[in-house]
């Protein structure tokens, strides 16, 4: 069974998607439509911008989403998922690729999500860090033990890697305690505390946009971030999507549950190779590869 997985923020790179734009008229039309919807030329930033341009949340998220869904379109009849999932932002790409909402609606939601998250980042200085070489339970223990600052487990990426999210001091304290316990904290180059309570204003703002967006049942189960479990009901998908911004990304559970449910091949659709590496941490023998090699 084929599991198609879609990357999130951090997978971007300058030049992403240009081959698809240059080589396929249907793909080019999607890129140009995105420029119209967003009100600026995201293709210029994707194809010839700077790494700093692409690090801006309001650019990064639509860019990664766009690359992913255009790639799924390019695959055409070859895109035959038995299940799909996406890491954080990638969940929106997965939903569009699986037919749960239109490309245009998905892009509008992603753009609204990015702008709302950016406002939260500007309101409260905050950050994230990857904690490695410790168990999930140890990281949760570290976060629970820091009571004077906010820090929570935000991304359960794979066994031995949990990303924490919170205030600057909270994340720094978590990294220090991880070191004391034999682990390591790696600060991430992000502008805010994603998937933490600090994103509550963005969650409220995005919830209204999601409620006014048409969803239908996807062509296959989508394994959503908030539970890691498969969902096919459009109303449930919407509820989970509203919760996603302030809830942890349960990616380890997602991969394990896909394997439990019969996945034999993981195909990463979009920029980067991060999700392939995460799958290999769960099962080193699984067939995991990019949708388009090269």
Q: Which of the residues are catalytic? A: 88, 195
Q: Is the distance from CB of 245 to CB of 117 less than 8 angstroms?
A: yes
**What residues form DSSP beta bridges with 6?**
86
Distances in Å between the alpha carbon of 94 and those of 15, 128, 146, 193, 292? Answer: 22, 24, 35, 23, 16
163 φ, ψ (degrees, to nearest 5):
-90, 130
Rounded distance, CA 175 to CA 180, Å? 9
Q: Could you tell me the maximum CA-CA distance found in the chain, to the nearest angstrom?
A: 55
Rounded distance, CA 238 to CA 211, Å? 7
Closest CA to 252 of 157, 122, 131, 141: 157
């Amino acid at each position: 069974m084929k599991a198609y997985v879609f990357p999130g923020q951090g997978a971007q790179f300058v030049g992403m998607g240009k081959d698809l734009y240059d080589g396929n008229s249907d793909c080019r039309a999607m890129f140009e439509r995105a420029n119209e919807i967003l009100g600026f030329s995201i293709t210029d930033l994707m194809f010839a911008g700077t790494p700093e341009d692409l690090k801006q949340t309001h650019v990064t998220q639509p860019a990664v989403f766009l690359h992913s869904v255009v790639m799924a379109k390019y695959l055409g009849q070859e895109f035959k998922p038995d299940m799909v999932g996406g890491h954080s932002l990638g969940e929106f790409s997965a939903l569009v690729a699986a037919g749960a909402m239109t490309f245009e609606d998905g892009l509008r939601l992603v753009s609204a999500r990015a702008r709302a998250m950016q406002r939260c980042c500007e309101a409260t200085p905050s950050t994230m860090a990857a904690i490695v070489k410790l168990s999930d339970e140890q990281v949760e223990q570290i976060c629970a033990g820091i009571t004077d600052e906010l820090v929570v487990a935000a991304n359960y990426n794979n066994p031995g890697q949990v990303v924490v999210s919170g205030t600057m001091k909270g994340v720094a304290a978590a990294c220090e305690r991880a070191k004391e316990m034999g682990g390591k904290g790696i600060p991430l180059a992000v502008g805010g505390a994603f998937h933490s309570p600090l994103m509550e204003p963005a969650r409220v703002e995005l919830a209204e946009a999601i409620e006014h967006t048409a969803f239908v049942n996807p062509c296959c189960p989508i394994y959503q971030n908030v539970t890691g479990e498969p969902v096919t009901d459009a109303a449930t998908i919407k509820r989970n999507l509203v919760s996603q911004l302030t809830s942890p990304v349960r990616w380890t559970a997602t991969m394990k549950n896909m394997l439990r449910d019969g996945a034999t091949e993981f195909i990463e659709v979009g920029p980067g190779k991060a999700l392939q590496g995460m799958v290999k941490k769960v099962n080193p023998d699984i067939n995991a590869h990019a949708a388009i090699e090269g």
